[in-house]
Amino acid sequence: MASNSNKQLFQAEPVLLANSVTVLKKRYLRKKESGQVETPKDLFIRVAKNIAEAELKFDSNADVDSVADIFYTQMASLKFLPNSPTLMNAGNALQQLSACFVLPVEDSLEGIFEAVKYTALIHKSGGGTGFSFSRLRPKDDSVKTTKGVSSGPVSFMSVFDAATETIKQGGMRRGANMGILRVDHPDIIEFIYAKQDKTKLTNFNLSVGITEEFMKSVKNGTDYDLLTPRDRKKTGSKNAKEVFNEMVRLAWEGGDPGIIFLDRINNANPTPAEGEMESTNPCGEQPLLPYESCNLGSINLVQFVKNGKIDWDDLRNTCRIAVRFLDNVIEMNNYPIKQIDEMTKKNRKIGLGIMGWADMLVMLNIPYNSDKAISLAEEVMKFIRDEGRKMSVELAEQRGSFPGFDKSIYPGLGFKAMRNATITTIAPTGTISIIAGASSGIEPYFALAYYRNVMDNNKLPEVNPYFLEKAHEGKFYSESLMNKLAEAGNAHNLTEVPEDIRKVFVTSHEIEPVWHVKMQAAFQKYTDNAVSKTVNFQNSATIEDVEKAYMLAYDLGCKGITIYRDGSRSGQVLNIGSVKEEKPVETVVTVPAKPKERPAILIGKTIEKTTGCGKMYVTINQDVDGKVFEVFTSIGKAGGCAQSQAEAIGRLISLNLRSGVEPEFIIRQLKGISCHTPHGFGSQRILSCADAVGKALEEAINNPLNVQVVRNDSITVDSLLADIDKKAGKQVMSNGACPECGAPVEYIEGCLTCQSCGYSKCS
């Protein structure tokens, strides 16, 4: 091994924030052979040395130490960081360095459980998995070998979910999955509703695979064909707009399903001869062929803003080093199964992305929700893609093209060789952005300040450092203002803050969804793979708002879209104003010792619901103040089991209502309960008798007697409490507080995540 022994290596000292060190200690730093725990510098040296060893595979005289020093300097200066598995495992016994995998699920019992086995191996090694279940025959389809019928793809997804739940990834990370079903699969409605019950498929993000034919039918209001997976023959049809509306409504209710545009993804497939792309990784930014993996890394844009301008030369240098680093990772990776090793090395996909985008914008005094920001997004991403491709071409001249390279796929670019089938991906970055002290991916700020719990239950405002700097520069800093900022989370209504500063320092819920989608589309324009971006909606957003975002994403050329309406996931805790507890905040309902007496006269209505057990009649009475007071239910014959259970549910609901419990709490408990005989589809689907009562009660309070109906949206506890606190002048962060550091948590990467300390509900 050649080495430059005269050069002093690894001289740069990492400069890390306290949060960065906390995350590194908690998740990344390893014990050395001496028994001591490595320092952050040790970690970067370990990773740099390990990845640099790949140079010897291409040049036996390579100066590995010098290359390692270059890699180390990029990481220590926080200009570039690879994905978490590389930081965790490079130079260790596991040596599994990829975050993203896609596995095929074949239409046989053997094929399904082989995929489950491979999933377990990948999760054990620290990776996440994506699947398309579109090859599986639909529910009730015949199975020749057993003379029985299929239970359908949704039922088999629960097997993968259960396997994931039992496996802890390398002792560090809980597994995550993406489940995709084509929109033309006969079981598409069941798939759309698969996560309406939030206790099901908790380790899955779901996306519907959308075709061009389907989107044309949506716009024209016509039917589209449902096709059997076996031979792609027509087996039925559905109205495209009705199916689309159900997708939108369920996403509005709880975030799932998202959508990916399958035809658009495959039109950009750089290796069509190798197969068709069916799925993505768990966060949706990495479309992959079956058995492919991808190695991701992100450039920290914060480090390239100097004196109010972007240092393009320095950014070019980091792009080149990052591409070399990621190509080396492919060689050094210990893949969990043979097929993944072969397919990954055949196409050599890498995914170079960014983090710190929101930081870069405020450093340049550009509002996130502006045309100037959209133009800069295109400029920055085009530069990174073009410089990355140039480096990949150079590497191909030195090391050879990826085996599946076809120059006809790159018309007009004149590439005679290419080392990597793809170069760029926009990932959400997660904990590596905390290590880098940067905002996550291309997301805007979630909050400008929040309260952090310190000793003796004191609370101190934690303020965005760039806002703090502007406050001191502009001489509008005060402790009182910082406390107000922590109370509100944003500066929108803080008149002490100059208007131009308020416009630049916008937070996610201040930004109209259209700007979220525009930003995603701007980055997608120059991204080889796809873009991870959550389009955030306020709790008050309507179903129509979500529909507009979905259609805009399609019209602007996105490869998919994921939305999240604040507070729409059941089981979340409320975080109102300055209430930041170490433990989740529980809502306490004080119940009187004795229920209210029943008045002699009540008024009410009876709602009919068709369940799997037959027709149910739910009578809901209200008092003179218009409040729901009691519930009677009837189903089947008197004395029958179904009727006795229904009567018991009604009595218990009535007791709670007369004891002061708000109906919304009862609805939350009943809706989503499933039994073995659900009935109906779409908005009329009833999962069980209990679900029917919950939905009838919800209809009653949304459409009270003698009150004009103004909307059909579901009233939730979160929105109810939000209205109360808005009247009190407090900001609602209905995703809740981090149980570890007290900072607000936000919904990214398909999971509630704390950007302060790295806590994730999925970890």
Comparing 326 with 758, which gets the higher pLDDT? 326
- Is the pLDDT score of 212 beyond 60? yes
Where in the sequence numbering do the catalytic residues fall? 281, 283, 285
Answer yes or no: is 652 within a domain. Answer: yes
Separation of alpha carbons 429 and 378, rounded Å: 19
Distance CA 393, CA 99 (A): 25
pLDDT of residue 634: 84
Residue 169 is assigned to a structural domain of this protein: yes
Task: Decide if pLDDT at 588 tops 60.
Answer: no
3-class DSSP state for residue 625? coil
Tokens 């004395």 correspond to: 639
**pLDDT at residue 456 in the model:** 53
Cα(88)–Cα(173) distance, integer angstroms: 11
Least confident of 32-46, 164-178, 591-605, 722-736: 722-736
For the cut 70, the answer to whether the pLDDT of residue 352 exceeds it is yes
Instruction: Tell me whether residue 337 is in a domain.
Output: yes
pLDDT of residue 639: 58
Detail the DSSP E strand segments found in 228-368: 234-239, 258-261, 279-280, 287-288, 293-300, 305-306, 309-310, 350-355
Q: Can you give the pTM of this predicted structure?
A: 0.79
In this structure, are 557 and 476 located in the same domain?
yes
Q: How far is CA 634 from the centre of its chain?
A: 42
| Whole-number pLDDT of residue 175 | 72
Residue 13 lies in a domain: no
Residue 585 in this model has a pLDDT that exceeds 60:
no
Distance CA(251)–CA(257), nearest Å, equals 6
pLDDT at position 265: 97
What burial class does residue 509 get, using C-beta atoms within 10 Å of its C-beta: 0-12 exposed, 13-18 middle, 19+ buried?
buried
Q: Pick from 239, 119, 243: which is nearest to 179 by CA?
A: 119
Q: Which residue has the higher pLDDT, 673 or 303?
A: 303
The confidence score (pLDDT) of residue 635 equals: 86
Q: What is the pLDDT of residue 333?
A: 97
Is the pLDDT at 455 greater than 70? The verdict is no
Banded model confidence at residue 201, pLDDT cuts 50, 70, 90? very high
pLDDT at 628: 87
| Domain termination residue (choose one: 377, 406, 431) | 431
Banded pLDDT at 111 (limits 50, 70, 90)? very high
- Check whether 581 has a pLDDT greater than 70: no
Q: Please give the pLDDT value at position 211.
A: 98
In the three-class reduction of DSSP (H, G, I as helix; E, B as strand; rest coil), residue 51 is classed as: helix
Residue 135 CB contacts under 8 Å (≥ 6 apart), including other chains: 104, 105, 106, 107, 229
In a domain, 239, yes or no: yes
User: What three-state secondary structure class fits 133?
Assistant: coil
In the prediction, which pLDDT does 168 show?
58
Give dist(CA 77, CA 317) in Å, integer: 13
Integer-rounded Cα radius of gyration of the chain:
27
Instruction: Give the model's pLDDT for residue 467.
Output: 97
How far apart are the C-alpha atoms of 677 and 663, rounded to whole Å? 26
Per-residue model confidence (pLDDT) at position 595 = 80
Q: What share of the chain in percent tops pLDDT 70? A: 86
Is residue 11, in this structure, part of any structural domain at all? no
| Structural domain boundaries, residue 253 | 100-280
Among the residue ranges 147-151, 445-449, 713-717, the one predicted with the least confidence is 713-717
Give pLDDT, residue 116.
Answer: 96
Of 80-89, 91-100, 657-666, the one with minimum mean pLDDT is: 657-666
Q: What is the pLDDT of residue 181?
A: 98
Given a cut of 90, whether residue 223 has pLDDT beyond it is yes
pLDDT at 722: 47
Read off the tokens for 371. 């045309």
The one-letter code for the residue type at 506 is: V
Q: Which is more confident, 580 or 659? A: 659
% of the chain surpassing 90 pLDDT: 63
Q: Is residue 445's pLDDT more than 50?
A: yes
- Predicted local distance difference test score (pLDDT) of residue 750: 63
641-658 helix and 663-670 helix, angle to the nearest 10 degrees: 150
Q: Which residues on adjacent β-strands are paired with residue 531?
A: 426
User: pLDDT at position 727, please?
Assistant: 41
**Distance, CA of 293 to CA of 286 (rounded, Å):** 9
Of 458, 441, 459, nearest in space to 450 by CA: 459
> Could you identify the residue written with the tokens 């039994």?
675
Give the integer Cα–Cα distance in Å for 760 and 286. 21
Residues 115 and 31 in one domain: no
Q: Do 90 and 167 sit in the same domain of this protein?
A: no
pLDDT at residue 170 greater than cutoff 50: no
Write down the pLDDT at residue 575. 33
Assess whether 197 and 255 both reside in one domain: yes
Please spell the DSSP secondary structure of 63-124, one letter per residue.
BHHHHHHHHHHHHHTTSEEE-HHHHHHTTSSS-----EEEE---SSHHHHHHHHHHHHHHHH
Q: Which of 394, 414, 431 is the last residue of a domain?
A: 431
- Give, to the nearest 10 degrees, the angle between helix 18-27 and helix 40-52: 60
Output 249 or 606, whichever has higher pLDDT. 249
> Are 247 and 362 within one domain?
no
Q: 674 falls in which pLDDT band (50, 70, 90)?
A: confident
Using the 3D structure, point to which of 264, 280, 296 is the last residue of a domain.
Answer: 280
145 located within any domain: yes
Which pLDDT belongs to residue 393? 96
Q: What is the CATH number of the domain that holds 259?
A: 3.20.70.20
With 60 as the cut, is the pLDDT of residue 725 above it?
no
Same domain, 269 and 133: yes
Residue 742: per-residue pLDDT:
60
**Across 164-187, average pLDDT:** 81
φ/ψ of residue 149, rounded to 5? -130, 155
Are 468 and 483 within one domain? Answer: yes
Residue in the block written with tokens 């905002």: 439
- Per DSSP, the three-state class of 564 is strand
Residue 280 clears pLDDT 80, i.e. is over it: yes
> Comparing C-alpha atoms, which of 54, 624, 48 is closest to residue 333?
54
Q: Are 441 and 577 in a shared domain?
A: yes
The vertex-351 CA angle with 349 and 354, nearest 5°, equals 170
> Would the pLDDT of 712 be above 70?
no
Q: Are 733 and 486 in contact (CB under 8 A)?
A: no
Return the minimum-mean-pLDDT range out of 108-122, 148-162, 299-313, 443-457: 443-457
Q: Please give the torsion angle defined by the CA atoms of residues 181, 125, 289 and 407, in that order, rounded to the nearest 10 degrees.
A: 150
- pLDDT value at residue 407: 85
Q: What is the mean pLDDT of the chain?
A: 87
In a shared domain, residues 276 and 290: no
- The number of distinct structural domains making up the chain is 4
Query: Do residues 486 and 584 both lie within one domain?
Result: yes
Least confident range from 29-43, 288-302, 398-412, 739-753: namely 739-753
Please give the pLDDT value at position 144: 67
Whether residue 720 has pLDDT greater than 70: no
Q: Is the peptide bond before 138 cis (omega within 30 degrees of 0)?
A: no
pLDDT above 80 (res 689):
yes
Q: 719 pLDDT exceeds 80?
A: no
Is 529 within 8 Å of 286 (Cβ atoms)?
A: yes
Tokens of 163: 């396997």
Q: Is 725 exposed, middle or buried (0-12, 13-18, 19+ CB in 10 A)?
A: middle
Spatial distance between the Cα atoms of 497 and 504, rounded to a whole number of angstroms: 11
H or E segment and range at residue 209: strand 204-210
Task: Note the residue count of the chain.
Answer: 763
CA torsion, ordered 348, 437, 576, 550, to nearest 10 deg: -30
Nearest Cα to Cα of residue 162 among 111, 200, 118: 200
* pLDDT of res. 499: 96
Q: Are residues 489 and 560 in the same domain?
A: yes
Residue 729 binned pLDDT confidence (cut-offs 50, 70, 90): very low
Give the residue-averaged pLDDT of 212-236: 96
Helices (H) and strands (E) in the chain, counts: 24, 29
Residues 571 and 458 in one domain: yes
Give pLDDT, residue 430: 85
What is the C-alpha to C-alpha distance for residues 294 and 344, in angstroms, rounded to an integer?
A: 7
Q: What is residue 706's predicted lDDT score, i.e. its pLDDT?
A: 57
Helix 543-555 and helix 240-254, axial crossing angle in degrees, nearest 10? 110
pLDDT score for 697: 87
Report the C-alpha gap between 438 and 440 in whole angstroms: 6
Q: Give me the residue label for tokens 């405002």.
A: 461
The per-residue pLDDT for 736 is 64
pLDDT confidence of residue 748 = 67
CA distance 181 to 194: 11
Instruction: Give a yes or no: residue 651 inside a domain.
Output: yes
Strand partners, 2: 63
Neighbours of 261 (CB within 10 A): 22
Give 687 or 223, the one with higher predicted confidence.
223
Answer yes or no: is pLDDT of 550 > 90.
yes
Residue 223, beta-bridge partner list: 239
Euclidean distance between CA atoms 299 and 314, whole angstroms? 11
Q: Rounded distance, CA 527 to CA 520, Å?
A: 10
pLDDT, position 224:
98
The structure tokens listed for 270 are 């750089």
**Comparing 716 with 709, which gets the higher pLDDT?**
716
The per-residue pLDDT for 42 is 96
